[in-house]
Amino acid sequence: MKNSALGRRIIACPYYVWAAIFIIVPLIMMVYYSITNPVGEFTIDNFLSLGKYSKAFLLSITYAVISTIITFLIAYPLSYAMTKLKISSQRMILMMVIFPMWMNFLIRTYSWISILANTGIINNFLVSLGFEPLKLINTPGAIILGMVYDFLPYMVLPIYTAMSKIDTSLLEASDDLGCNGWQKLKKVIFPLTLPGVVSGITMVFVPSVSTFYISQKLGGNKTMLIGDAIEYLFNIGPDHYNVASTLSLVLMVLILISMAIMNRFTDETDEGVII
């Protein structure tokens, strides 16, 4: 019997080796590149040059925070409205919300250019009605729209899942105890969906803060987000790998910190519920 347990433990070994080589070593490589110069000598210059990119960092964080908030404000009522429907319609709408994710996100983003361009669909329509065309493409608004559009399903999915699991008798109980609609939302529904909200927020924030395609296409070339900076540096050649690694490292640390904060948020409320 002992032998079989041992055997079962051993079959994970190929994976451990894989994870060590392709998950841990790459991160060590990233750290190594970020503290050396192109010739391989130790240096902290890469970190000193980060100041040049502070604007890109700030802009990335701002856009990601705004689009995460908007996505949440759209997804939360949507999930709530969905749970009020028949089960079969709920399933169908969920499918329809997820379905665009199966389409290449580059093309989904690009289609927005057709809609927003200076001579695009919206502006053609406005001009034909006799209005002045609007400046829609290559604006911060267009970038945020792209982020909200591309990552909305990631927010709906966990929130809807959490909301559909709420026991309806809890809602009835809160009615009986005299809660009005707002109190019911604040004291019953929201705390129960909080884990879903937290995972939705992380799933939208991480790709938004690190994107480099959406900003290039919908923001024109004048907005440099941190993802753009990293991609640009890697493309101009091996001499710039070091600074690019430093930027990636800082981005990773930034994401880890924000995730830690978010997770703490749910842990504390869990304890609160137990008490």
What does the angle CA 129 – CA 131 – CA 134 come to, to the nearest 5 degrees? 120
Structure tokens at 94: 């969920």
Q: Give residues 197-256 in contact with another protein (rule: CB under 8 A).
A: 202, 206-207, 209-210, 212-213, 217, 227, 230-231, 234, 238, 241, 244-245, 248, 251-252, 255-256
Rule CB under 8 A: say whether 30 interacts with another protein.
yes
What does the angle CA 216 – CA 259 – CA 62 come to, to the nearest 5 degrees? 40
Cβ atoms within 10 Å of 143's Cβ, excluding its own: 25
Which is nearer to another protein, 264 or 272 (by Cβ)? 264
CB of 164 to another protein, least distance (A): 15
Cβ atoms within 10 Å of 60's Cβ, excluding its own: 26
Kindly determine how many residues on this chain lie close enough to bind another protein according to the rule CB under 8 A: 81
CB 153 within 8 A of CB 101: yes
CB of 30 to another protein, least distance (A): 5
Residue 42 sits at φ, ψ, to 5 deg, of -65, 135
Which is nearer to another protein, 97 or 201 (by Cβ)? 97
CB of 268 to another protein, least distance (A): 20
Stretch that binds another protein, among 9-17, 50-58, 128-136, 189-197 (CB under 8 A): 9-17
Structure tokens at 41: 């000598």
Rule CB under 8 A: say whether 152 interacts with another protein.
yes
Rule CB under 8 A: say whether 151 interacts with another protein.
no
Phi/psi zone of residue 224: left (φ > 0), alpha (ψ -120 to 50 degrees), beta? beta
Which is nearer to another protein, 159 or 217 (by Cβ)? 217
Structure tokens at 222: 């004048």
Q: Give residues 69-128 in contact with another protein (rule: CB under 8 A).
A: 74, 77-78, 80-82, 84, 93, 95-97, 99-108, 110-115, 117, 119-121, 124
CB of 210 to another protein, least distance (A): 4
**Calpha distance 155→204 (Å, rounded):** 7
Rule CB under 8 A: say whether 129 interacts with another protein.
no
Rule CB under 8 A: say whether 8 interacts with another protein.
yes
Binding characters for another protein, 38-67, by CB under 8 A (x = yes): ------------------------------
Rule CB under 8 A: say whether 272 interacts with another protein.
no
CB 185 within 8 A of CB 218: no
- Amino acid identity of residue 87, one-letter, is I
- For 230, half-sphere exposure in the C-beta direction (CA atoms, 13 angstrom radius) is 20
